[in-house]
Chains A and B, each alone.
Chain A
Amino acid sequence: MTALRKMLPSWLTAYAVLYIGFLYLPVIFLPIFSINTAATPKFPLSGYTLKWYRDLATTPALTDAAWNSLMVAVSASLLATMFGICAARAITRYRFPARRSINGLLMAPLVLPEIIIAVSMLLVMLQLGLNLSLITVVFGHVLICIPYSLSVLTSGFEGFDRSLEEASADLGESPFGTFRRVTLPMVAPAIISSLLVSFTISLDEFIMAFFLTGTDATLPVYIWGQLRFAAKLPGVLALGTLLLIASVILLTIAEIVRRRASRRTQNMGGLIA
């Protein structure tokens, strides 16, 4: 028994290491092969070069796609967060009929097959007579970002003591002033969090973008197109590496914001108790 008990932790450690390995090994290959001189991704590496990175900057189709993605992601995250704020406030603050069902409907895109939503969106856009463009992609992304934005914002708003807003009104502040001086500073971390999450989701979203875009490709659509050409693979790997670094930076910022926010909520919790 004691032997087993001694064995168990080491087995668990091995399991954990393997698990992490399978999760992240492919990701590690990305930067490794992106600095390989050969165009085919296999070991041993034939030499080291930053050529593929230099090529990225001089490929107009790619820089265009990157620019498109950035625009779409910024617009989609702003819109999704804006709608998210309205919905989260209504859901956490007011009691109205069908509140739960409405919340469920807003969260539904999270579990619906994305390809189905994409096809339906496409049909609706065409029926409305809209030309497919980056704008229709933004519409699609807003739809799928809202559930994420809503859940981040709802948890941020739920920890908010309503009597703080009443105290502000009681001290003579108008509803708008109360929002600006009390509500906004208190929920700012949740809003920033929602913006970052929506941005990241929009940036790497493929299916919606593939169906709803016109002639302008977003980054994932561009990458998908490039994968058909074996010679273009190292460029894609280099691009992937850059995206990876950008994601890590964004997620780190989101995490810092989240920790600050939770520290504040904990303190606030102490105040309420």
Chain B
Amino acid sequence: MPERTMIEISRVTRSYGAFKALDETSLSIREGEFFSLLGPSGCGKTTLLRMIAGFDTPTSGTISVDGQPMDGIPANRRPTNMVFQSYAIFPHLNVEQNVSYGLKRLRLNPSEEQRRVEEALAQVSLGGLGKRGATELSGGQRQRVALARALVMRPKVLLLDEPLSALDKKLREQMQVELRRLQQAVGITFILVTHDQYEALAMSDRIAVMFGGRIAQVATPKEIYQRPTNCQVADFLGGMNFVKANIVEENGSTITLDTPVFGRVKTDKPVAFARNGNAATLGIRPERLRVLWDDATDKHEVAGKVVDRHYFGEITHLVIEIPGFEKPLSVTETNNFGADDIPVGAPIRLAYDPDALVALAD
């Protein structure tokens, strides 16, 4: 796949008075990539998306789309299209009129326009609903109309502003799969704004995690989940056990930490590791800890006591106190072997994979 840059964001800042919604942010997004901007509300992800679309202007810095700087170019002359969080379906028009809204400006001949509208409706599985009034649609259907309306313009970049947040869980999961399939079928660069880490992990080629107007990490879903660069990213992406550690040795790409119980751990150094004295944190995801049943043993094990247990259907969440750790460890275990029956107060042994231990900048 050619690695051509589609969006180049260079040192973009957006301030509202003293508040910086976006602070000196730089980012490149490749052509044909499904890219997610992930972060809590107020982290600047929507501001960034709206600046790419042209609804907001950077206080400083430049955004380029397909090599063209977008400075001073209004939203209606940008090669981007957006799916709005509220869908923004025109209520006075029917499905077909909504989808053909942008095409009218292109003055295509009627049969060509009709063909493109039908093609777009078919892409989002809404074939045959063209004459339906906009107000007679369900939430999922409105979402699809918004998608068709943007795709029919054949944009270079499709911007999606929390498009699934208004849908119920089942429909949301179904749309995640469909959106991903659609993106691969049309090959357009998609930029998704979301605060839902599972959504970002499930759909994206790459994810940028943002906090307080800055990008904390840009990586593939797997890397960002398994090798988060700092505690904030690790915590936002899902459950994580944090263990206080001391830095013993730091060189090039590896770092050695000294921790209670786990002992000395040598691991990959996070890309943007910003050393802050000798203290650091060692992290391990709850599902990377495994309960050792009966006489089973492992090269790497820790012993403790169950202090709490939460049942979640397919998994059980155990809270385990380990002598030597300040905080208890969280463990998620599938219920195949009876983790849901472990009594609170029982002694327990856990196995861990040293490769799952990750050094985190504080």
* Interface of A toward B, CB cutoff 8 Å: 161, 163-164, 166-175, 177, 181-182, 185-186, 264, 267-268, 270-273
Q: How far is the CA of A163 from the CA of B77 in the complex (A)?
A: 17
B53 within 8 A of partner (CB): yes
Q: Which of A171, A175, A268 contacts B153 (CB 8 A)?
A: A171
Q: How far is the CA of A177 from the CA of B90 in the complex (A)?
A: 14
Least CB distance from A18 to B in Å reads: 44
B297 within 8 A of partner (CB): no
Q: Can you list 28 A-B contacts (CB < 8 A)?
A: A161-B86, A163-B85, A163-B86, A166-B75, A166-B82, A166-B84, A166-B88, A167-B88, A167-B90, A167-B149, A169-B75, A169-B76, A170-B75, A170-B80, A171-B81, A171-B102, A171-B105, A171-B153, A172-B153, A173-B102, A181-B101, A182-B90, A185-B92, A268-B135, A270-B135, A271-B87, A271-B89, A271-B91
Contact residues in B for A172 (Cβ distance below 8 Å): 76-77, 102, 105-106, 153
Least CB distance from B116 to A in Å reads: 13
Chain A interface mostly? helix
Given the known interface contacts A161-B86, A267-B135, the answer about A173 and B76 at a Cβ–Cβ threshold of 8 Å is yes
Contact B105 A177 (CB under 8 A): yes
Q: Which of A170, A181, A270, A271 contacts B76 (CB 8 A)?
A: A170
Least CB distance from B49 to A in Å reads: 12
Least CB distance from B75 to A in Å reads: 4
In the complex, the chain A residue whose C-beta lies closest to that of B84 is A163
B160 within 8 A of partner (CB): no
| 7 residue pairs, one from A and one from B, having the closest CB atoms | A171-B102, A267-B135, A167-B88, A163-B88, A169-B75, A169-B76, A268-B91
Known: A169-B54, A172-B76. 10 other contacts (CB 8 A): A166-B55, A167-B90, A167-B149, A169-B76, A170-B75, A171-B105, A173-B76, A175-B76, A264-B91, A271-B91
B244 within 8 A of partner (CB): no
Within 8 A of A (CB), among B68-122: 74-77, 80-82, 84-92, 101-102, 105-106
Contact residues in A for B88 (Cβ distance below 8 Å): 161, 163-164, 166-167
Contact residues in B for A270 (Cβ distance below 8 Å): 135
Contact B101 A171 (CB under 8 A): yes
Q: Would you give the 0/1 interface string for B197-219, flagging 1 where the beta carbon is closer than 8 Å to chain A?
A: 00000000000000000000000
Least CB distance from B23 to A in Å reads: 23
Counting chain B CB atoms within 10 Å of each CB, the highest count among A175, A185, A271, A272 belongs to: A271
Counting chain A CB atoms within 10 Å of each CB, the highest count among B77, B87, B142 belongs to: B87
Contact A271 B142 (CB under 8 A): yes
Q: How far is the CA of A267 from the CA of B142 in the complex (A)?
A: 13
Contact residues in B for A173 (Cβ distance below 8 Å): 76, 101-102, 105
Least CB distance from A261 to B in Å reads: 11
Least CB distance from A66 to B in Å reads: 37
Contact B74 A169 (CB under 8 A): yes
Least CB distance from A186 to B in Å reads: 6
Contact residues in A for B74 (Cβ distance below 8 Å): 169
Given the known interface contacts A185-B92, A268-B91, the answer about A174 and B86 at a Cβ–Cβ threshold of 8 Å is no
In the complex, the chain B residue whose C-beta lies closest to that of A182 is B90
Contact residues in A for B90 (Cβ distance below 8 Å): 164, 167-168, 182
Q: How far is the CA of A270 from the CA of B105 in the complex (A)?
A: 29
Q: How far is the CA of A171 from the CA of B102 in the complex (A)?
A: 5
B357 within 8 A of partner (CB): no
Contact A264 B92 (CB under 8 A): yes
Contact residues in A for B306 (Cβ distance below 8 Å): none
Q: How far is the CA of A170 from the CA of B84 in the complex (A)?
A: 10
Q: How far is the CA of A192 from the CA of B327 in the complex (A)?
A: 67
Contact residues in A for B77 (Cβ distance below 8 Å): 172
Contact B55 A174 (CB under 8 A): no
Counting chain A CB atoms within 10 Å of each CB, the highest count among B80, B87, B90, B91 belongs to: B91
Q: How far is the CA of A264 from the CA of B88 in the complex (A)?
A: 14
Contact residues in A for B166 (Cβ distance below 8 Å): 273
In the complex, the chain A residue whose C-beta lies closest to that of B137 is A271
Least CB distance from A90 to B in Å reads: 19
Q: How far is the CA of A181 from the CA of B54 in the complex (A)?
A: 20
Least CB distance from B54 to A in Å reads: 8
Q: How far is the CA of A127 from the CA of B279 in the complex (A)?
A: 81
Least CB distance from A166 to B in Å reads: 6
Contact residues in B for A175 (Cβ distance below 8 Å): 76
In the complex, the chain A residue whose C-beta lies closest to that of B102 is A171
